[in-house]
Chains A and B, each alone.
Chain A
């Protein structure tokens, strides 16, 4: 069975400091993993995805994530937060068949000036 645990429901950082959003997954198969961002009243936007190629994945807006199979983790990082990064972030794991997405419960990122 597939599942995702986002370890922090809220994260608050100061502008210009690093961001770390944590995600652990459970999967019966070699998974695909995604991070999506949701700004208020906007649709979900893909940040990056891991699909069994390089374990360090670079995405849009300076975000990256590292797939660690031994730790079953896929944490999202960014070296320097920007005010525009304030949003909710979802980690997603897919099932083997029919690309069924399993979403985490989300992490709300607050960026302080």
Chain B
């Protein structure tokens, strides 16, 4: 079974530029998550989708971050404009459903460096 795919794996940009990350979840997984993991910290949830609807985006900085999940499968996370403090690893995860016992499966992440 294929895992969660993410691209690109690495990205270096200047501050104020824009960047986009792509995620393809495990086939059949209805729930998709984007996390931000700053160096030395645990991942922090940015946004959670159930199919193509948003169920939690309370920690997404909406003035610069946006995400969409068209057709309930692939998802894109965008940052525009980027700030230095956005340097982090962006992790995508998926789960079959959103029940409390569901396991989340993580992709390898995209490492972003903002200069």
User: Residues of A with Cβ closer than 8 Å to B?
Assistant: 4, 31-32, 34, 36, 41-46, 49, 51, 90, 94-101, 103-106
Distance of A49 Cα from B44 Cα, bound (Å): 19
The majority secondary structure among interface residues of chain A is loop
The majority secondary structure among interface residues of chain B is loop
Q: How many residues of B contact A (CB 8 A)?
A: 30
Please, which residues of chain A bring their CB within 8 A of the CB of B48? 98, 100
Contact (Cβ within 8 A) B44 A41: no
Q: A44-B91, A44-B106, A98-B48 are in contact. Are A51 and B101 (CB under 8 A)?
A: yes
Contact (Cβ within 8 A) B41 A105: yes
User: Residues of B with Cβ closer than 8 Å to A?
Assistant: 3-4, 31, 33, 40-45, 48, 50, 55-56, 91, 93, 95, 97-109
Contact (Cβ within 8 A) B42 A90: yes
Contact (Cβ within 8 A) A46 B56: no
